[in-house]
A and B are shown apart, each in its own frame.
Chain A
Amino acid sequence: MSFLHYFIKEEGPSSALIAKERLQIIVAHERRQRDGAVTTQLDRILPQLQQEILDVVKKYMKIGNEDVKINVEQEGKYEVLELNIILPENELKLRHKKVHET
Chain B
Amino acid sequence: MSKIIVVTSGKGGVGKTTTSAAFATGLALRGIPTVVIDFDVGLRNLDLVMGCERRVVYDFINIINGEGNLNQALIKDRRVDSLYILPASQTRNKDALTLKGVAKVLEALKKRFEYIICDSPAGIEHGAIMAMYFADEALIITNPEVSSVRDSDRIVGMLASKTRRAVQDMAPVKEYLLLTRYSAKRVENGDMLSVDDVTDILALPMLGIIPESESVLHASNSGTPITLDNESDAGMAYLDVVARFLGEDPPVRKKKSLFSRLIGR
Contact = CB atoms under 8 A, between A and B. Distances in A.
Contact of A16 (B95, B153, B197, B202): B197
A24 B65 CA distance: 44
B191 A16 contact: yes
Interface string B87-109: 00000110111111100000000
B193 A19 contact: yes
A54 B65 CA distance: 14
A48 B167 contact: yes
A51 B145 CA distance: 36
A9 interface: yes
B148 to A, nearest CB: 10
A15 B190 contact: yes
A31 B149 contact: no
A23 interface: yes
Contact of A15 (B95, B161, B166, B191): B191
A56 B190 CA distance: 56
Interface residues of B, number: 36
B98 A54 contact: yes
Interface residue tally on A, bucketed by range: 20 to 34
Interface of B: 64-65, 92-93, 95-101, 129-130, 133, 145-146, 149-150, 153-154, 157, 161-162, 166-167, 187, 189-194, 197, 200-202
B201 to A, nearest CB: 5
Nearest to B41: A66
A22 B99 CA distance: 37
Interface of B: prevailing SS: helix
A34 B187 contact: no
Contact of B98 (A44, A45, A65): A65
Given A50-B99, A64-B96, 8 more contacts: A9-B190, A16-B193, A23-B150, A23-B201, A27-B153, A44-B162, A51-B99, A65-B95
A16 B149 contact: no
Interface of A: 5, 9, 14-17, 19-20, 22-24, 26-27, 30-31, 34, 40, 43-48, 50-51, 54-55, 64-66, 69
Contact of A43 (B146, B162, B194): B162
Given A16-B190, A43-B162, A66 B99 contact: no
A65 B201 contact: no
Contacts of B162: 43-44, 46-47
Contact of B92 (A14, A20, A66, A69): A66
B153 A66 contact: no
A30 B153 CA distance: 9
Nearest to A33: B157
A9 B92 CA distance: 51
